[in-house]
């Protein structure tokens, strides 16, 4: 897949990341609980985008509609979950 297709697939996550970073820039005027929520959304979103980039660069694409390739599908799910979990834990 080309870069245009990947941008189309991840545009919402990227737009959410940018909007939450902008909201976080104005965080001193927000309540601390809302700051924490925005921070966690930013981290989880960054983890998703990082997981997507690493999967595209390091592993072949898994065909989700065909049978077979079960280990690759499980690896893809674990990779995304790992990045999101690690980022959402703060680092």
Per-residue pLDDT of the chain (91 residues; tens, 9 = 90+): 566 766 677 777 778 888 878 877 776 776 777 777 778 888 888 888 888 888 888 877 777 777 777 888 888 888 888 888 888 887 5
Which residue ranges make up each domain of the chain?
3-88
> What pLDDT, on the 0 to 100 scale, is given for residue 85?
87
Contact 47, 87 (CB under 8 A): yes
Q: Are 51 and 82 in contact (CB under 8 A)?
A: yes
pTM of the model: 0.66
pLDDT at 80: 86
Q: What's the pLDDT at 3?
A: 63
């Amino acid at each position: 897949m080309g870069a245009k297709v990947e941008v189309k697939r991840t545009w919402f996550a990227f737009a959410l990341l940018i909007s939450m970073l902008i909201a976080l820039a104005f965080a001193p005027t927000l309540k601390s609980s809302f700051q924490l929520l925005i921070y966690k959304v930013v981290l989880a979103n960054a983890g998703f985008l990082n997981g997507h980039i690493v999967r595209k660069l390091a592993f072949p694409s898994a065909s989700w509609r065909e049978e077979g390739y079960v280990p690759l599908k499980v690896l893809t799910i674990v990779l995304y979950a790992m990045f999101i979990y690690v980022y959402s834990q703060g680092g």
